[in-house]
Structure 1
Amino acid sequence: MEKTTLPTTAINLLQFLLPLITSLSPTYTNVIHLGCSNRCGGVAVPYPFAIGDPKCAFSDAFLLNCSSSTTSSSAAAPPQLLLGNIPVTNISVEEGTFSVVFPAAYSCYGRTGSPMKDSRVRRPHVNLGSRRPFRFSDVHNKLTAFGCGAQALITNEDGGSGCVSVCGTASSLPVVCPGIGCCQSPIPQGLKTIEFATSSTSNHSGRVSGSSNPCSYAYLADDRFSDFGGVNLAEFPERNPGNSIAAIEWVVEEKTCEAAMWNSSTFPCRKDSDCVYSKNGNGYRCSCKPGFRGNPYFGCQDINECAEPEKYPCRGRCKNTQGSYSCSCPFWMRGDGKDSCQSLLSVKDTIAGNENGEMLLEHQRVRIFKESELSKATKNYDASHFLGKGGFGHVYKGILPDNTLVAIKKPNGSLDQAQTINQEFQHEIAIVSQVNHINVVKVLGLCLETKLPLLVYEFIPNGTLFDHIHRQRSSIMSTWQNRLRIAAEIAQALDYLHSLANPPIIHGDIKSTNILLDEGFRAKVADFGASVLIYPDQKPYAGNLARTGETVNLIQYFLTSTENMNLGRIINFAVVREAEMDEIEAFAEVARRCLSFSGRKRPTMNEVAEELGRLRKLNECSCGGESCMSPLTGISEGRVGTTEEQPPASIGTLDMESYEIGR
C-alpha cells in the first residue's frame, strides 16, 4: 500500500491539465489579512485558508504549507503549496473546493499473467484527516480506469465501488472514455479517507508481445479537467503513468447555520452573503448572494452587470441595481431586454419614408429625420448654431426648410461609448415621446441614421430659468407676479407627469437649469434623462438626489427663514403691495410642506398646482383683474378646495401616496 507521498519525476498528465486548472484561479477572492502571505508558487491562497500562520486562517484546519523541493540534481524547484504532502493547485472560495495533485494506481503483468519482476502495484491511500472539514467531491470526481480488461476499485471503511473496462481485438487503438478501453464510476458522498487500486480481469495473460499495454491504470480525477479519451494504450508508459487533478470540497465548520449564527461575533459570513449547507456531508460555508461577488468572509461587493454585457446580456437600456440589474427595451420595442426585444414596427415601416425622409412612427407622434436634413439645418453643426451642452451632449439650433426652429441634441461621446449613449437615447425618447403638455418641451423627431442617435426638440428661445435668476439682470424675474406664474406652470407640468401621463412619469431632476422659457417666457420642463416610468404594479419608488455641484444647503437656509418669520432676507425682488407678502407667505408654506421628511406628509403635485393656481388668480384680482377669489385657505389644512373656474381633473389617476419622490 502506498501512502500520500507523490513522485516528483512522474511522467504525468499535468502538462495537459494545469493550463485548465490555472484558468479557474479566483479573480475576486484573493483577500487576506494584512501581513499574511496570500500566494505560494503561483497559487492564490484566499481566506479562510492561510499559509503557516494560525492567526491568518479561520482555524488550524485551513493552514497549508508552502515548501520548496529539490530534484535529484539538487536544482531548486518553485515553491509548492501543500496540504500535508499533497500538492494544491487551486483554491476556489466561490465553489467551496480546492484542487490537488493525486497519484494514479497501476499494475503491470507479463505474458504469463504474473506481475512483472521490475514492477510493483501502486495503491494510493489518502486520508484528509478527521479534524479537517474536507471531503472528496462526489460531484466533480470520478474513478476512471483504462486498459484492456482493467478493473478499478475504490474503498473506504464503509465499502467501495468500481468499474471494469473492455477492449476489442484492436487494443492499440485510442480509447474512448467511457467506452472502449476505459470505464468510469462515481464515488460515494462524504469520503474523507480513500484507497483505490486496479487489476486486470485476465492479468493480461496470453498477450502477444507489443500488441497492447500490459498495465491497468486507475485515477481519481476531476472530470472538469481530465480527458482520457484518445489515449493510445500501446504508447502509454508502463512506469509512473502520472497523476491527475482531484477536487476536494470544504466547509467552514461542520455544524448547522443556526448553531453558527448563535454567536454573531464568530459567525464568518459577512455582508451580502448567505450561509449555505454542503450537499456532501455535514457543515456549511459562506457564499455571496446572487448579484454579488467577492470573498464572503470579508464582505461581498455588488456586481455592475451593465459593465459586463458578455455575462449579463441586455438588448435595451441597462440599469444596475443592488444585487441585480434591469434591462428595458427601446420605446419602439417590447419584451424582456435581458432576453430579446421584439419590434412593434415592421422592418419596412422602420426604414421606409417619403422623399424628404419624413415618417411618423405610429402611436408615437415622432418624425424620423435624415442625417443630411439635420446637418443642413445646423450648417454642419457650425459653432454659430451652438446653444449649450448637457449630460447627453451638445445642443445646436437648427432651421428646417419650412423655417421651423428646432433644437438638436447631438451626443458628445465616442463610438466606443455608442452602446451606453444609445441606451440613454432610448430611455429619453421613451419618456418624451409620450408627453404632450404646453409646459413640457416637445420632442419633434429623431435621427436613426447616425451611429450615435440624434434627438430633435422644439426650439425654446429665451434660455433657462437659471440664466434669468443668476446670470442676467432679467426684468422677467423682477416681479412676484412673473415668479408666481413660472412656479405655477412648472407645478402644472409636474402634475401632468405624475397624474395624467400613462404611465406616470417621475422627472427626477427638476432644477432651474432644466426649466426653459419660450418666446412668451412660459416655463417648459426639459431634460428627461433621469426620468422613470411608474407602472401600477410597481413597488414604491425612491430615487437618488440628482447630479449637482452645489454645496450650499438651500433647504436648511429656507426652513430657518420660515421658522424665524424672516422671509424678507431671502427675497431678492421688490414687494409692491402688502397683499403680495401674504401670497409669498402662503407660497412658502406650500414649499415647506414639500420639504417634509415623510413622503406621506408632502402634498401631491396636484395639490401644489391647485394652490399655486389659486394664488395666481388671487394675485390677478389684487392687481385689478376681473375675477376675485375667496380669502387664502392654505394647503396646510388639507386638500385645497376647487372653484368652478378650476374643476378637479376627472381623469383617473394613479395613487402616488406611496412614492417618496415625485408626489
Structure 2
Amino acid sequence: MKLLLVYRILLVIFLSLTAASIAAAVYAKPGCDDMCGNVRIPFPFGIGANCSVNEWYVVNCNSSIPYLSALDNLEVLRVDLGNQTVTVNMQKISNCSQTKSVDLRTTPFVYSKSHNRFVFEGCGNAVMMGDHDNVLTACSTMCSKFDTTTTVSIQRSNRCVGLSCCETTIPHYLQSYSMNLTSLERHMGGGGICGSAFLVDENSIEGSRLSHQSSVAEGSSYAHTSLLWTISDVDQLQVTCCDKNNRKGYGRIVDMGNGTTTNTWKCHYYESSAGNPYLIDGCDDYRSVSEECSRCEDRGGYCHYDTTYDVDDYIYNSKFTCGVYRGYIYEESRSSRTSLGVILGVSISIGVLFLVAITYMLYKMIKKTKIKRRRERFFKRNGGLLLTQQQKAYPSLIDKTILFTSRELEKATNNFSENRILGRGGQGTVYKGMLVDGRIVAVKKSKIIDESQLQQFINEVVVLSQVSHRNVVKLLGCCLETDVPLLVSEFVPNGTLYDHLHNGTDELPMSLNMRLQVATEVAGALAYLHSATSTPIYHRDIKTTNILLDDKHRAKVSDFGTSLFVSIDQSHLTTLVKGTFGYLDPEYFQSSQFTEKSDVYSFGVVLVELLTGERPISLTSFGENRSLATHFLLAMEEGRVMSIFDAMVIKEGTRDELLVVANLAMRCLNLNGKYRPTMKEVATELENIRTIRIPSIVQSSIKPIMYGEELFMLMSGESTSTFLSSGNTITQ
C-alpha cells in the first residue's frame, strides 16, 4: 500500500510537471486563441482585433479557416516565426490582358524572393512588369501539341523545364507587379488560352502537404505564396522577446533593394524552442547570441547588435557593442571600455618599440603599394581584363578612350551628391559633373551586381568608343579604379523625348517640324549604327526615354548597355530577349532572333508616339487598344488614323503629309520583318518629307492610302501591293 501511494504521488508530480511544461508553450496573447482549424496563429498575428500587433496582422477565423482581413482576405496557410514569413493562398493569374497583383506597397509585407518561385503553366509567354511597365522577369514555354487544357503538375520528380511549364526567380525587391500573359496559339493566329502564372512557395514546389482548398497541382486556381513581414519601431514596443528588457531581440535595418531602407524588429528564434519568442512568457529557454555577448553579460553589460539585413534576412553587415542602460541613455559598458583601453595600451606600447625604427622607411613604399593594389583590384573587378580583350579585338575602337581617375570624377560630381543626380535606370545612376577644364559631363555610376551586368558596361564602352555621329551621345571616357565602374559622356541638357511628349516639360508643345526633325535625326543615327560603322551595331532598346534632346532640340541616341556587335555576314543573332514592353518587336520576342529590322520596329513605335502624342502602353485602355502599335495599325486598317493624331500635328500638317508619315510608320511596324524598310531607307524618306513637305503640284500624282482588307494582307506579308512613299515616288 505504501509503495502504491508513493507511485501515485510520483505520477501526480510527473503529470503536474508535464502540464506546466505544456502550459509554458505560449503562442498568443493572454485571452486570445492561437489555433484556427489546423493552422497555428502566433503573435504578432492574432485572431481578433486586440490579439495582433496592429491591424495588418489581424486574422479572421471563419469556418475554421484563417484569413488576413487587411490583405483582401487572403487565406493564411502557415506562419513561420523563424523565417519571419506568412504563407497565404493567392489566386493564379490567367487573364490574357495585363493583370495587377495584390499591392503590398503600403503594407508591412513584401513578396519573399528566397521562398518563392515565379511559375508559368501553359503554352506561351508570361511577362512580369514593374510599376512603369518595365520588364522584371519573363518565362516562356513550348508545347509539342497545342493542347491548352493540359498543364503540368509541379512535383519534386518533374520540375518545370520549359515544356508546358517554366519557372524562374523573382526580383530582389517586390511589393507589387503586373502580369501579361500571351498564348502560343494566339501568336500563331488562333484563339488560344493564356495558361496561368503565379508566385509559389518553394516548399509547395518541393511537394509539401497542401491545404484543403489550395494547391499548385493540376487544375487548381490557387497557389501557396510566402510574404515576408516586418515590425516597425512603434509596434516593437508591444514585442517583449521573452524578457521585459528585450535581451533576446534586436532591431535591424532592412535594405529593401530599391535604394530605400526600413527599420524592423526581430526576436531570436531557435527551432528546438517551444512557444513564441515574441511574447514575454513565450520561450522555454534562453541562449546567448554569441560568445562575445555571453562575456558582455557576465560583466553586467547589455548586448547590442547594429545589423543591416536585406528583405530576405541575409546579413549585409553587423556591428556588436557591449553597453549598459543609465536612465534612458544608452552608454557603452564601463568595464568594456576599461578592458579595451588596457588591451589597446599594451598593444600600442609593444608595437611602438618595433615600428618606430622602420616606420619612416616603409611609410612611402607601403602607401604607394596599397594605392596601386587597390586600383589594380578595382580595375580587374570592374572589367579591366574584359576591356583589354576588347581592345585587342578592336584596337581602333578604344585607343582614344580616356581613363579618368576617381579623384577627378569625385571632384566633378561633388562626391556624387544627391542633388547632382540626373536620373536613375536599371543599369545605374547618372550624375551631372564639371571637369577641371570647364566641360559639363554626365557620369554614369553602374550597378555592377553580377557578371552579366559587368559585360553590359564593357559592351557600352566598346560600342560608344567606335561611334562618331552628331546624333549619338559621345563617350568621353571611363573610370575602372573605383568600387563600381563609371562611364563619362557628353552632357545633353534638355531631357528625354519622353518627357517632352508626355510630361509637359516644355512651355510650348513640340511642333510638327520639330517632331519630323527628331524622327529624321534618330533614323539617321540608327542607319549609321546599322551600316556605316566598321562593325554593324544593333541598339536593341530604342524608345523615347533613350532619346535625349540638346539645347537646340537636336536628338541624341543614348543607353547602349544592351547593344550588340554583329558580323557583316550575320543576318540575325539568337539572344536572350531584352527590351522594353511596348517597343519590343513581336517577331524577336517569339523567335529570340534579333535583326536590324527589330530596331526598325522599335523606331516605328517612336514615330507613332511623335504623331499621336500617346504613350506606347496605355494605362487606361484595354485589349487591343492597350498597345499603341496595335491601336495605330487598327486605325490605319479602318481608315480613321487621322482621329488618333495629336492636335498640334493635325493643326500644322496637311492630310496628305500626315498620311505619308503614317504610311512609313505602318511599314516599320509590319509584323513580318522582311517587309520592313531598312533604317537607311527610313532616314532617306523622312529627310525627303522634311524638305519637300509634299507640294500641292505633286499631291495629285500620289496614290491614295490603302485601308481595309488590302492593308491587312499587306501587313501580314501576303501581298505585293505598293506602299505610299515620300514625295511623288511609289516603292515596291
Query: The TM-score by the shorter chain falls in which range?
Result: 0.3 to 0.5
Instruction: Name the larger-Rg structure.
Output: 1
Q: State TM-score, norm by structure 2.
A: 0.37
